[in-house]
Structure 1
């Protein structure tokens, strides 16, 4: 209904105009930076002001702001503050009541405040009157506007969820993808395709992080130097560097595996996956180990940083810097327990700890007979793995094709079956596909062969692990220590304060290989009494059989090859 001034309505005086659109998408619809809607609202408000004899003294614009809450609309807040403080406004002109409010409660509060200040509200499209009838009509219109907003929101949410269930991507495409409109059988279908300019950066981000050589800030700087920028926006037409937070989001997002998550539920997506499950899992494992690890690479760095624990109290040890009277800078390791005097481990010079770690690597040295027998078993194991893997892959691929066909048939039933039953069945089939994909991956003989080669190389390197450690760069030392040990517990001689490694926590495959090592250690816990000598260990053959060494026995849930697992 067009507004017509009736008895009781003000005319003439000073007015302000308030303009608003709900989303940024309504702004970005024309060559004009304001889009189409705001200029159209402005023109209609100017005509109404001229018709009623008002002089427009100010204009307030909230582009891309929801009408449900006033607290997120800076222009509206500024307008109300001006009306309260300067008291020089007679009228607020809007294109429609829905432009100033989509919330009946806020609308009522604003209407009452404007009336107390002697300011009338004029709508170009809606009935406007300062009488009791006008108040009643305004209240009804405000309630209808709120209902329409909420109903529209619920309808959009339902459609977005339905789209996710069918594998579509609700909302804006993620980094590495772009939104597109495809014409299919005369219909415009909104879909997502890979971004030709940015897609190659996504696997690169994952692969670089999976090396363990990059922190999030370092990774962000590296890909920025390689040319990665965000998609163009009005404020940044050429794009801008990706933030550290965005890099972290990308590394954790299962969307890049080909999945769509909506309201906490995951669905198989129609978009192209940019990252393999193997690389994604490796990245997640690395992120997990870094969470709370205490490594702040922007301060001081050292190859043993965050890998040491206190041999006396079991607490964390951190790296700090000192300077002597001659101004020479040196680094040392300190137990956190010193702060509250719960531990008496002295400060340990970093270079002395490095020597202690090198000496400790002699405990990883393996016997010659063990190495020979292991190499023979690896060769037999790789042959068995290849043969068994081929058989299992044929069966798994056949089963996967059957389940995929079932899921495809269920998608055709969307709208005919009860939604909860369809969701449950789809979820079950998706779980089966994920499980089979995992089993297919585990039956691939290539990783087994690569693992065998890696173990052979490892055996060669472990012929002299101490010498290998001392020959490495700082980066190489860090990776070697992280590959062998989950933790190293450092202590100090009670007389000389010389550091030594009291005990360790081995990583696979060293745990089964050297399982008897901890039993042979002289100090069995970090709380044991100290001694003036370093912990020693026999360098003889380990006391575990080869079947404890994972790469030597290829296994599936229903079958295991054990003919290659024989003790020397």
Structure 2
């Protein structure tokens, strides 16, 4: 009788326990010699039993079916051949027709056409034990993943911009920013946050400065979209299979504030922010309908006249189509720019001097704010320690512990963001006062001489909450430009 030998190993532990493929093949060959079986083929393979990689198993079945005589399938033990009753159906059919005999070496069991019920039950019991092992392995993996998430670790590979750090045994011990790619991710968010870029223009910029995918290819638009939506970059990991999020312990590449700003801009662009990229408009994505809150969409008439109208996405609130010429939107813009331009240089110098005099108060506020935030952080840390003690003493339930732990960790994360914002504000303070004031004075000159993308950047820098009420554009100035106009209109600044 001809024989097929199957040898399989799934884990490193099995390699150490004498289940290695060479060891299995050697015992199977010796078995065939003792039983006068002629070895027709051998199928050694290394694969996890929980993965759907059964190509070689299917090839064995096909080989048995094609044979005109009975084939003896020789394996070390039941769990080397199968891990569920699904395979039993195929094997049982071939056994009953006399095409197949199965020889389990360790169990000293041969299943053939005339096997009795006791032998069949021994086979089924072996399959049951193998299936139980797989289920137990699955439970262990789930518990391991849950423990990793509680510890702030990820259970998959990190996104582009990060790399894994491994120990000598090949086990991941940390995830760190990729020194070659992290700065590209930061640049991408910073560019998009200006409101002056679509995913298409972001892609063009990234290609221009040399950013490539992990495979070394130019980034696809879908990858740009995925990156701009990935919360991992500011500290929140997400499992698509489990649909859950958790705070990870690795270094963020951006702040949550920057991420949220990009999300707000994405909403302003609509579902396909790149669809108008070939034809830029000054107010595209910047103005919303004052009646329903939908975006004001631009279009060109007769090749040169630009109009804006509500998309009327909320027809129950706003169904009237009002076309507003772009020049009408520009009128109040030029009024503000004229106001900045008319500020005398003497007044700007007075404001700068006054800001210098408030520097001592600013320093005091900065230090007190940092100190207060740090005290709050330490207080939460102490509460976390007490919370753990309560859990160990069984004074609270695991459910209550997890809920409180999440609340306090999120609060600590928010504190860290505020500390980061204060620090950044302190670092930038000394270069902003004079520069901002002089920029405001030259804003009209810069606006008139700029191309549309630069005009949009200036408006993003100056304005916020732009809405169209009828044909009138309404907005407020961002800080500190709102204060500059207020201060400039006061008769005097310096006292004493």
Q: TM-score, normalised by structure 1?
A: 0.60
Matches within 5 A, 1:19-98: 53-56=37-40, 64=47, 66-67=49-50, 73-76=54-57, 80=61, 86=66, 90-91=70-71, 92-94=73-75, 96-98=77-79
Alignment pair present for 1:479 and 2:457: yes
Deviation at 1:225, TM superposition (A): 6.6
TM-aligned CA deviation for residue 191 of structure 1: 1.3
Aligned residues: 454
Whether contact under 8 Å (2:200, 2:277) holds in the other structure is no
Partner residue in 2 for 1:115: 95
What is the Cα deviation at residue 308 of structure 1? Answer: 6.8
Partner of 2:374: 397
Q: Residues 204 and 319 (structure 1 numbering): CA distance in 2 closer, same or farther, change over 3 Å?
A: same
SS in 2 for 1:199: coil
Q: CA deviation at 1:488?
A: 6.9
Shift of 1:60: 8.8
- Aligned pair partner of 1:101 in 82, 104, 113: 82
Structure 2 contact 310–321 (Cα < 8 Å) conserved:
no
Q: Do the aligned residues in 2 keep the contact of 1:256 with 1:273 (CA within 8 Å)?
A: yes
**Would the alpha carbon gap of residues 268 and 286 (structure 1) be closer, same or farther in structure 2, given more than 3 Å must change?**
same
Query: Distance between the aligned counterparts of 1:215 and 1:286, measured in 2?
Result: 10
Aligned match of 1:361: 333
Residues 1:207 and 2:187 are matched in the alignment: yes
Separation in 2, partners of 1:334, 1:361: 16
Please, which runs of 5 or more residues in structure 2 have no aligned partner?
Answer: 313-318, 488-492
> d(CA) in 1 for partners of 2:225 and 2:124?
47
Q: Please, what is the CA RMSD of the aligned residues? A: 5.4
C-alpha distance in structure 1 between counterparts of 2:226 and 2:341, whole Å = 49
1:130-157 CA distance string (max 9 Å, x none): 3133321121111111111111221232
Name the TM-score, length of structure 2 as normaliser: 0.67
1:475 Cα deviation after fit: 2.3
- For each residue in 1:315-358, what CA deviation from the matched residue of structure 2 results, as whole angstroms up to 9, or x when unmatched? 76366899xxxxxx9998797989xxx88789x9xxxx666655
Instruction: Indicate the residue corresponding to 1:529 in structure 2.
Output: none
Query: Is residue 2:144 matched to residue 1:159?
Result: yes
Conserved? CA contact 1:293–1:306, under 8 Å: no
Q: Which residue matches 2:475?
A: 506
- 1:138 equivalent in alignment to 2:120: no
Q: Cα deviations across residues 481-506 of structure 1 (Å, max 9, x unaligned)?
A: 4453666769xxxxxxxxxx923363
Secondary structure of residue in 2 paired with 1:506: strand
Take 1:240 and 1:95, find their aligned partners in 2: how far apart are those partners? 46
Report the Cα distance in structure 1 between the residues aligned to 2:264 and 2:26, rounded to whole angstroms. Answer: 58
- Specify the SS of the correspondent of 1:211: helix
Q: Which runs of 5+ in 1 are unaligned?
A: 1-11, 30-35, 323-328, 491-500, 515-540, 547-564
Give the 5 Å matches for 1:4-403. Answer: 12-13=1-2, 15=4, 53-56=37-40, 64=47, 66-67=49-50, 73-76=54-57, 80=61, 86=66, 90-91=70-71, 92-94=73-75, 96-104=77-85, 106-116=86-96, 118-120=98-100, 121-123=102-104, 125-126=106-107, 127-130=109-112, 131=115, 132-172=117-157, 174-175=159-160, 176-181=162-167, 191-194=173-176, 198-212=178-192, 215-216=198-199, 219=202, 245=222, 247-258=224-235, 264-267=244-247, 269=249, 271-290=250-269, 292-296=270-274, 300-304=278-282, 305-306=284-285, 317=297, 358-359=330-331, 361-365=333-337, 367=339, 376=351, 379=355, 384-403=361-380
